[in-house]
């Protein structure tokens, strides 16, 4: 069974930065494509970034491009999301997701393993 655990959320002022982390267990980390999603109250879950197994290929949603950076350390079984210039409208629960093998998708349905989420609150 794969477990996914996020950390690093919190309260930050608009324009500030946070770094989220995600660790997995149960499958070799370098066998997993990883992604970050977020969901604000009353809104649909949004895919914001994806990274392939070796960390070379990365994709960002337009809403975060240039401000967020996804990365991974396969030796530490850890995924990161560096978030800069945060905006109040980015207040949401942020989720880490994983699936075996490579994927070019950033749809929720294409990821099999999910964490419980970490809350990010951006104050104005």
Return the pLDDT at 20: 98
> What's the confidence (pLDDT) of residue 26?
95
Q: Residue 108: count other Cβ atoms within 10 Å of its Cβ.
A: 16
Q: Which of 94, 92, 50, 90 is nearest to 70 (CA)?
A: 50
Instruction: State pLDDT tens for residues 94-123.
Output: 999 999 998 889 999 999 999 999 999 999
pLDDT of residue 69: 98
Render the burial of 10-37: b for 16+ CB within 10 Å, e for the rest. eebeeeeebebbbbbeebebeebbbbbb
pLDDT of residue 1: 83
Under-70 pLDDT residues of the chain = none
Q: What is the pLDDT of residue 99?
A: 96
């Amino acid at each position: 069974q794969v477990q996914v655990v996020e950390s690093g959320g919190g309260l930050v002022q608009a324009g500030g930065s946070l770094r989220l982390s995600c660790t997995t267990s149960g499958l070799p980390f370098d066998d997993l494509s990883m992604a970050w999603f977020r969901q604000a109250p009353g809104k649909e879950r949004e895919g914001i970034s994806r990274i392939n197994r070796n960390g070379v290929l990365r994709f960002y949603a337009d809403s975060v491009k240039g401000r967020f950076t996804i990365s991974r350390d396969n030796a530490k079984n850890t995924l990161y999301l560096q978030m800069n210039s945060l905006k109040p409208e980015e207040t949401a629960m942020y989720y880490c997701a994983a699936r075996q093998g490579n994927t070019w998708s950033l749809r929720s349905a294409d990821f099999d393993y999910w964490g419980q989420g970490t809350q990010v609150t951006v104050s104005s």
